[in-house]
Amino acid sequence: MDHLLELGAGMSRFADLAAKATGDEPVPGCPDWTTRDLTHHLGSIHRWAAAIVLSGQRLDMPSPTFGDSLVEWYAGTATALLAALQAVDVDEPVPNFSRINETAGFFHRRQMHEVSVHVVDAAQALGLPEAEWQVESALAADGVEEVLHIFFPRMTARGQVPDVRSRVRLTATDTGQSWIIAPPGGEGLPPVLVHSSLDAESHVEGTASDLYLALWHRVPSERLTFDNDDGRALFAGPTTP
Per the CB < 8 A criterion, the answer to whether 102 and 94 are in contact is yes
Give the pLDDT confidence of 33-62 residue by residue, as tens digits: 999 999 999 999 999 999 999 999 999 887
Same domain, 143 and 198: yes
Percentage of the chain beyond pLDDT 70 is 100
> Is the predicted pLDDT of residue 67 greater than 90, yes or no?
no
b (16+ CB within 10 A) / e for 103-122? bbbbbbbbbbbbbbbbbbbb
Same domain, 20 and 50: yes
112-115 CB contacts, 8 Å cutoff, 24+ apart: 112/3, 112/4, 112/6, 112/7, 112/10, 112/139, 113/142, 113/143, 113/146, 114/42, 114/45, 115/7, 115/10, 115/11, 115/14, 115/42
> Is the predicted pLDDT of residue 13 greater than 90, yes or no?
yes
Residues spanned by the domain of 166: 137-236
- Predicted local confidence at residue 71, as pLDDT: 94
User: Which residues are 193's β-sheet partners?
Assistant: 181
> Is the predicted pLDDT of residue 73 greater than 90, yes or no?
yes
Q: How many domains does the chain have?
A: 2
- Predicted local confidence at residue 114, as pLDDT: 98
- Predicted local confidence at residue 65, as pLDDT: 73
Task: Say if 241 falls within a structural domain.
Answer: no
- Predicted local confidence at residue 208, as pLDDT: 98
Same domain, 75 and 125: yes
Same domain, 36 and 89: yes
Same domain, 148 and 223: yes
Q: What is the CATH number of the domain that holds 208?
A: 3.30.1050.10
* Mean pLDDT computed over every residue of the chain: 96
Same domain, 172 and 203: yes
- For the segment 222-236, the average pLDDT, to the nearest whole number, is 98
Same domain, 127 and 9: yes
- For the segment 147-169, the average pLDDT, to the nearest whole number, is 97
Domain end (from 104, 132, 160)? 132
- Predicted local confidence at residue 210, as pLDDT: 98
> Is the predicted pLDDT of residue 197 greater than 90, yes or no?
yes
Percentage of the chain beyond pLDDT 90 is 94
Domain end (from 85, 117, 132)? 132
Same domain, 111 and 211: no
pTM here is: 0.96
- Predicted local confidence at residue 62, as pLDDT: 78
Amino acid at site 132:
E
> Is the predicted pLDDT of residue 186 greater than 80, yes or no?
yes
> Is the predicted pLDDT of residue 171 greater than 80, yes or no?
yes
- For the segment 146-171, the average pLDDT, to the nearest whole number, is 97
Domain end (from 73, 105, 132)? 132
Same domain, 53 and 128: yes
Same domain, 11 and 124: yes
